[in-house]
Amino acid sequence: MSEPPLPASASERAQPGNREIEALRPPRNRVDADRPYHFLQERETGTFGVETVNTLFLTGKECAFKCLMCDLWKNTLDGPTPPGAIVRQIDYALARLPAADSIKLYNSSNFFDPKAVPVADYPAILERVRGYRRVIVENHPRLIGDACLQFRDGLHDDRPGGRGGTLEIAMGLETIHPVALPAMNKQLTPEDFRRAATFLTSHGIRVRAFVLLNPPYITDAREGVRWAVETVRFAFESGAQCCSIIATRPGNGIMETLQAAGDYVPPTLDALEAVFTEALGLARALPEPSRDPELRHRRLVFVDTWDIGFLSACPHCFDARRDRLDAMNLTQTIHQPVACSCHA
């Protein structure tokens, strides 16, 4: 693709590092090391159709990275995750959730950081998640390695008739924009992502990519959509089976400062709808990703509708438009846009 006009502010000003990012943070939420900070059952389309997914937001050690746009640290602990805590949290949530096809263990950090999820806890965690069709965890691409394979191997039930679940690792690619990604303090290049995705898919592990709409330093609405779509394309071409598009939100301190300086512009609901439509089309258009029959699949695109109230600009159509996005997540098809005088 052609090189975009780079935002002058990003290239001319010093970009915030760990110290500036941490200095502007509001206080953490009060959390309990023995409780997930949230859990729910959701429906999500998988390779073979709509599945039920038990999604657990686990409380643990804060991520070692300090990305500019991240607010996941709000629900983390001050120090390393205590041994056994993750297992107790899983037990707590699963005792209160119905059975499900698949499970997400999202820990606001890196699942394969031993200070976030102690390796000694793997056997007890595996015992609890082995029966699920898919087990989805999150991890920074630069922390992908042999621990992922050890965990994948543990998912296989060796008893007669036992079946193994598939491991899926969600990684933040965020954007491939040549200014915005380095400025994000994520310590990541697109090549790092590609290398990690290649490693995982070559070992039978599925890859999900998180892609941001309007990260800091992409401040033009059309460029925001274009870079989100190009990032989805890069993720799929790197081997990802699934992309989840997230509207970059304020609320972590530094994002408010960036917004005041004109270096972050919140996306609109129009833009989120546009990027979803384009990315769904792209998912269909790209060639078959893998010759490995185990990894053959249709590519999936989701938009995160979890916390998009900040995109609401019209009280008349917001709920219907969010419902439409949810329906498109499930069907992986483009639905008729919601009519409203606000965007006629």
The answer to whether 217 contacts ligand SF4 (rule: CB under 6 A) is no
Closest CA to 45 of 237, 229, 175, 208: 208
Nearest distance from residue 58's CB to ligand SF4, in Å? 12
Q: Show the site string, 309-328: x = touches Zn ion by CB under 5 A, - = not.
A: -----x-xx-----------
Dist. CA 164–CA 168, nearest whole Å: 13
The answer to whether 61 contacts ligand SF4 (rule: CB under 6 A) is no
67 binds, among ligand SF4, Zn ion, none (CB under 5 to 8 A by kind): ligand SF4
Q: Please answer whether residues 289 and 298 qualify as being in contact, where contact means their C-beta atoms are separated by less than 8 angstroms.
A: no
Helices vs strands, H then E, count in the chain: 11, 8
Query: Tell me, what DSSP letter sits at residue 68?
Result: T
The answer to whether 120 contacts Zn ion (rule: CB under 5 A) is no
Q: Where are the beta strands (DSSP E) in the chain?
A: 38-46, 49-57, 102-106, 134-138, 166-174, 206-213, 242-247, 300-303
Q: Show the site string, 170-199: x = touches ligand SF4 by CB under 6 A, - = not.
A: --x-------------x-------------
Antiparallel, parallel or unpaired: β 38-46 and 166-174 = unpaired
Side-by-side strand order, sheet with 134-138: 38-46, 49-57, 102-106, 134-138, 166-174, 206-213, 242-247, 300-303
Under 8 Å CB-to-CB from 160, ≥6 apart: which residues?
none
In this structure, which amino acid lies at residue 137? V
Phi-psi region of 42 (alpha: psi -120 to 50; beta: other; left: phi over 0): beta
Q: Residue from 54, 109, 214, 219 that binds ligand SF4 (CB under 6 A)?
A: 109
316 binds, among ligand SF4, Zn ion, none (CB under 5 to 8 A by kind): Zn ion
Nearest distance from residue 3's CB to ligand SF4, in Å? 26
Q: Residue from 53, 70, 255, 258 that binds ligand SF4 (CB under 6 A)?
A: 70
Q: Residue from 104, 140, 177, 226 that binds ligand SF4 (CB under 6 A)?
A: 140
Residues in the interface with Zn ion (CB under 5 A) total 5
- Stretch touching ligand SF4 by CB under 6 A, among 21-29, 64-72, 146-154, 224-232: 64-72
217 binds, among Zn ion, ligand SF4, none (CB under 5 to 8 A by kind): none
Closest CA to 75 of 54, 89, 91: 89
53 binds, among Zn ion, ligand SF4, none (CB under 5 to 8 A by kind): none
- Stretch touching ligand SF4 by CB under 6 A, among 47-55, 58-66, 197-205, 290-298: 58-66
Instruction: Quickly tell me which residue has 């640290």 as its tokens.
Output: 73
In this complex, which beta carbon is closest to Zn ion, that of residue 261 or of residue 342?
342
Nearest distance from residue 338's CB to Zn ion, in Å? 8
The answer to whether 66 contacts ligand SF4 (rule: CB under 6 A) is yes
For 213-233, the DSSP string reads ES-TT--SHHHHHHHHHHHHH
Q: Residue from 33, 72, 97, 147 that binds ligand SF4 (CB under 6 A)?
A: 72
In this complex, which beta carbon is closest to ligand SF4, that of residue 7 or of residue 60?
60
Binding site for ligand SF4 (CB under 6 A): 63, 65-67, 70, 72, 108-109, 140, 172, 186
Binding site for Zn ion (CB under 5 A): 314, 316-317, 340, 342
